[in-house]
Amino acid sequence: MTVISRLPGAREEEWDWQLDGACRAADSQLFFHPSGERGQAHDDRDRAAKAVCARCPVRERCLRHALATRERYGVWGGSTEEERLGMLRRRRRNRVHAAARAR
């Protein structure tokens, strides 16, 4: 579940980028795997969702949103849950290393 405290405020400019998402014309089930989906079906669905993201004009903004709010499910900004978790872990590790070098 998304951490509500990390969501941006109610201002329209915080959310209006979503109106331009390529995913708006696609079935939302493409971006969120059904319970128990594994193997080739899972990989094929992720690949198809990422293909939509690849042509999306707000892909970078979508990814920033997903990282900032710690979206736990679905393909956002062309990245899966696992990929985003890896990005967040690398960010954290880089901050820790930078802080250690600064001491």
Domain of residue 26, residue span: 8-102
Is 58 labeled as ligand-binding? no
Cα–Cα dist 95/53, whole Å: 28
Is 56 labeled as ligand-binding? yes
Token representation of residue 72? 């736990």
Cα–Cα dist 46/51, whole Å: 9
pTM of the model: 0.79
**Which tens digit of pLDDT belongs to each residue from 17-61?**
999 999 999 999 999 999 999 999 999 999 999 999 999 999 999
Q: Is 17 within 8 Å of 61 (Cβ atoms)?
A: yes
* pLDDT score for 13: 66
3-state secondary structure of 76: strand
- The answer to whether position 2 is within a domain reads no
Instruction: Identify the band that residue 8 occupies on the pLDDT scale cut at 50, 70 and 90.
Output: low
Is 28 labeled as ligand-binding? no
Domain count, the chain: 1
Is 53 labeled as ligand-binding? yes
Cα–Cα dist 51/71, whole Å: 19
- The answer to whether position 83 is within a domain reads yes
Token representation of residue 49? 């969702």
Angle subtended at Cα 99 by Cα 85 and Cα 64, rounded to the nearest 5 degrees = 35
- The answer to whether position 3 is within a domain reads no
